[in-house]
Amino acid sequence: MKIDILIKNGLILKFDKKPTLNNIAITDGKILEIGTNLEQKYKAKLIIDATEKIVMPGFVNTHSHVAMSYFKGLADDLPLQEWLTKHIWPVEEKFLSEEFVKDAAIHGCAEMIKNGITTFNDMYFFGDQTAGSVEKIGIRAVLGEGVLDFPVANYQNADEIFAYIRKMHDKYKKSELIDFAVAPHAIYTCGKENLIKSKDLALELGILLHIHLSETKQEVDDCIKKTGLRPVEYLDSLGFFEGDVVVAHAIWLDESEQNILAKNNSSIAINTSSNLKIASGFDSFKSYLEHGVNLSIGTDGVASNNNLSMLQEISLTAKLQKALNNDPTILPAKEMIQIATIGGAKALNKNNQIGSIEVGKKADIIIVDTDCIEAQPMYDPYSHLVYSLASEQIKDVIINGKIVMKNRKLVNIDENEIIEKAKYYQRKIMEFNHIK
């Protein structure tokens, strides 16, 4: 039988058993078989020799703003309000357009793949343009169109955005790679009416709700002052958690809020780098785990993070949690890798399709080199992934059964073209900002 890809001799990370050397047959976008002697059984169009390599599910990044690529490192080490109002919002107001989003999104998607991300859950504007870039590069995405009470991008009001989401949902419903989602920006930018409309639309279309929540203490205090309820309680009072919900950040939750999320199978996208860097704060996730809240990992946008390395994100999160809890055993390496893969898949209600290496699942797989000084010796691949390795070692990326990065070179796009475009926008943004 002819198949698309055969991965041979890789150290395969299946979460239900010990890492084992094995082969994977991939065809029609899916994992057809995992086993020995597959090279005899199948004739593959592409054979990837994964000797001395880890073969694992791709990372699922559950909170991003992919088209903010060109704002990476534009302004740092500043108070949040100054950063937003004096730097980010002015350039967004000036530059945000369909063309800009298309270009910036392909840059962001390229950077995601370089970091082993095979699916991302985005929140931004002009999702149709992002979708075009997503399909071009071949990554999997859930594209949350931002909903706010005031005019943004090319929308005059939230109702226009809801109409747009309906249209996009319809346009991409047969896409193998793209889902749309409703992304009310936050409880401080969306009033009750638009939060409820967002939720109703998501339920009607059976799509995800994606919201920033409890990112700062200020947000929590303001919510209590205004509604008498904490943010999760407030959203719960609106029936917000009836569908599939990802709340991003969520570092200021009390136990009752954790209970609400757990009870509703809602998920948290942890964004440790961004939270620390902007000094939004941090929280121990021990109680979240004990309450059974599903955790996943987000990178946030590169304007605040400023990179898309999931390996850095899980390393940072694991280490910080150990210190915060005065307990080096919390969030061990294997659990962190699960949170960043199947945890993310669960958050997006896609754990039947992606997030682990299983026969019948979509082939979203990354291959990590261990035949290098940084990875040797290796006693435990999970430990190395979380504590020792970096994206440099992620060599090949397969998404939906197609190879999109081979030996760190992107397959479907010209990297130099992307770099030149970034430089072009950089010049324009610097001119606008009068940076000399």
Question: Which is closer to its own copies, CB of 40 or CB of 329?
Answer: 329
What is the nearest approach in angstroms of its own copies to the Cβ of residue 78? 6
Total binding residues for its own copies by CB under 8 A?
Answer: 72
What is the nearest approach in angstroms of its own copies to the Cβ of residue 17? 13
Over the window 84 to 113, marking each residue x when it contacts its own copies by CB under 8 A and - when it does not, the resulting string is: -----------------------x--xx--
Q: Which of residues 299-358 bind its own copies (CB under 8 A)?
A: 302, 305-307, 309, 312, 315-316, 318-320, 322-323, 325-329, 331-333
Question: Which is closer to its own copies, CB of 76 or CB of 93?
Answer: 76
Question: Which is closer to its own copies, CB of 93 or CB of 327?
Answer: 327
Among 14, 30, 166, 277, binds its own copies (CB under 8 A): 277
Among 47, 80, 224, 229, binds its own copies (CB under 8 A): 80
> How would you label 169-206 residue by residue, b for 16+ Cβ within 10 Å and e otherwise?
beebeeeebbbbbbbbbbbbbbeeebbebbbebbeebe
Nearest to 120 by CA among 112, 110, 128: 112
Nearest to 158 by CA among 120, 166, 141: 166
Q: What is the largest CA-CA distance in the chain?
A: 68
Question: Is 359 an interacting residue with respect to its own copies (CB under 8 A)?
Answer: no
Q: Which amino acid makes up residue 224?
A: I
Question: Is 3 an interacting residue with respect to its own copies (CB under 8 A)?
Answer: no
Between helices 158-171 and 127-137, what is the axis angle to 10°?
Answer: 30
Residue 3 has phi, psi (to 5 degrees) of -130, 170
Question: Which one of the spans 41-49, 174-182, 273-281, 343-351 is the region binding its own copies (CB under 8 A)?
Answer: 273-281
Residue 108 to residues 137, 153, 230, 234, 314, Cα–Cα distance (Å): 10, 19, 34, 33, 19
Question: Which is closer to its own copies, CB of 167 or CB of 427?
Answer: 427
> How would you label 210-236 residue by residue, b for 16+ Cβ within 10 Å and e otherwise?
bbbbbbbeebbeebeeebeebbbbbbb
Question: Which is closer to its own copies, CB of 37 or CB of 326?
Answer: 326
Question: Which is closer to its own copies, CB of 62 or CB of 305?
Answer: 305
Q: How far apart are CA 266 and CA 152, in angstroms?
A: 27
Q: Which amino acid makes up residue 153?
A: A
Q: How far apart are CA 275 and CA 304, in angstroms?
A: 9
Residue 375 to residues 5, 9, 226, 304, 411, Cα–Cα distance (Å): 26, 18, 52, 29, 26
Question: Which is closer to its own copies, CB of 12 or CB of 38?
Answer: 12
Question: Is 376 an interacting residue with respect to its own copies (CB under 8 A)?
Answer: yes
Over the window 410 to 429, marking each residue x when it contacts its own copies by CB under 8 A and - when it does not, the resulting string is: -----x--xx--xx-xx--x
Q: Which amino acid makes up residue 265?
A: N
Secondary-structure percent of the chain, ordered helix, strand, coil, rounded to 5 = 40, 25, 35
Question: Which is closer to its own copies, CB of 264 or CB of 338?
Answer: 338
Over the window 27 to 46, marking each residue x when it contacts its own copies by CB under 8 A and - when it does not, the resulting string is: --------------------
What is the nearest approach in angstroms of its own copies to the Cβ of residue 300? 12
Among 282, 289, 406, 412, binds its own copies (CB under 8 A): 282
Q: Which two tokens stand for residue 330?
A: 């919390």
Find how far residue 270's CA is from the centre of its chain: 10
Over the window 158 to 177, marking each residue x when it contacts its own copies by CB under 8 A and - when it does not, the resulting string is: --------------------
Question: Which is closer to its own copies, CB of 60 or CB of 110?
Answer: 110
Q: Which of residues 386-415 bind its own copies (CB under 8 A)?
A: 387-392, 415
Alpha helix locations (H) across 206-283? Answer: 217-227, 231-237, 255-263, 272-277
What is the nearest approach in angstroms of its own copies to the Cβ of residue 427? 9
**DSSP assignment string, 45-76:** EEEEE-TTEEEEEPEEEEEE-GGGGGGTTSS-
What is the nearest approach in angstroms of its own copies to the Cβ of residue 20? 12
Question: Is 130 an interacting residue with respect to its own copies (CB under 8 A)?
Answer: no
